[in-house]
Homo-oligomer: A and B are copies of this chain.
């Protein structure tokens, strides 16, 4: 059965070094009162014996785990991957470990992940693209500090300072707006939006698009299509709509979707951007490698992860959550929207 992992303990080291456990502890933790020679000897014995401190015991007595929880919808998404990388990096720089859980856009799994963090006494938790309500999240991990990254629960839309949690969002609407302004400039007059999952950012991006259209006096030009997945049926439906309406430009919820749509359109003989312009959102690495290369809106994904850690640490140390922020985005024009002047 379950082989117990008998490891070398502080006492083993103490015994071997002929000192008490306290001395070993102090020596290894750089207590100035321990003279250099004892410290060296203890250290020597410790490494010789292969001693590794037991984190569980440590956190228990220190009442601090130096652990952050990160809840992700799914690590397969390149966009999320970048956030995770930024988060993990920054955490490790500050000596924090991160424990991760995937929610797969499923409230149940989201709760389970938070539960996990609570059990592990995470001192702070970041929720990426979560759909649970803030109250629920807060309750689940109380009293950990929480920051919401790209929170998808509609209630997270407003900016919320003074709350026991922080929000990091991007200028989704501004991104949509920038996209439309660019497309107008290259001569597009009719637009369609391909929706993503029914979450906050889907709506915000669409609102930005609608706003820009309104400003240009093209308010009711915008068609909206349900987003497709890799499944052939949904793409076929989408393509048939495009073929029927023939908009000049197709604004997709995100890059992944845009690439799927572009592929489907090509299979049906539509040329991008000659017949139709396509844009994405996120600027995932592959957006720059598609053919045609994808015009998109870049999100500072890595920075978001980094910032999340910073906010959490600040909240942990100073006991005050920094104000929520909304990060700027950047329009990146590539081939998929380079139209010859359209009608």
Contact = CB atoms under 8 A, between A and B. Distances in A.
Contacts of A65: 56
A: interface residue count bin: 35 or more
A90 to B, nearest CB: 12
A55 B120 CA distance: 5
A241 interface: no
B263 A291 contact: yes
A237 to B, nearest CB: 18
A100 B102 contact: no
A123 interface: yes
B97 A97 contact: no
B60 A123 contact: no
Interface string A97-123: 111111000000000100110111101
A337 interface: no
Contact of A55 (B3, B63, B119, B319): B119
A139 interface: yes
Contacts of A53: 119
Assembly of this chain: how many copies? 2
A285 B120 CA distance: 34
Interface string A71-113: 0001111100110110011001000011111100000000010
A221 interface: no
Interface in A288-320: 288-293, 316-317, 319
Interface string A271-300: 000000000000001101111110000000
Contacts of A123: 5
Contacts of A59: 56
A126 B211 CA distance: 50
Contact of A289 (B82, B85, B143, B259): B259
A6 B144 CA distance: 10
Interface in A111-146: 112, 115-116, 118-121, 123, 139, 142-144
A266 interface: yes
A343 interface: no
Given A56-B60, A59-B56, A76-B81, A144 B5 contact: yes
Contact of A7 (B97, B102, B121, B286): B121
Nearest to A65: B56
B316 A63 contact: no
B60 A54 contact: yes
Nearest to A287: B286
A314 to B, nearest CB: 12
A200 interface: no
Nearest to A53: B119
B289 A50 contact: no
A56 B7 CA distance: 16
16 contacts: A1-B317, A3-B319, A5-B121, A6-B143, A52-B115, A52-B119, A53-B119, A57-B60, A85-B102, A89-B102, A92-B112, A259-B289, A260-B289, A263-B291, A286-B286, A289-B290
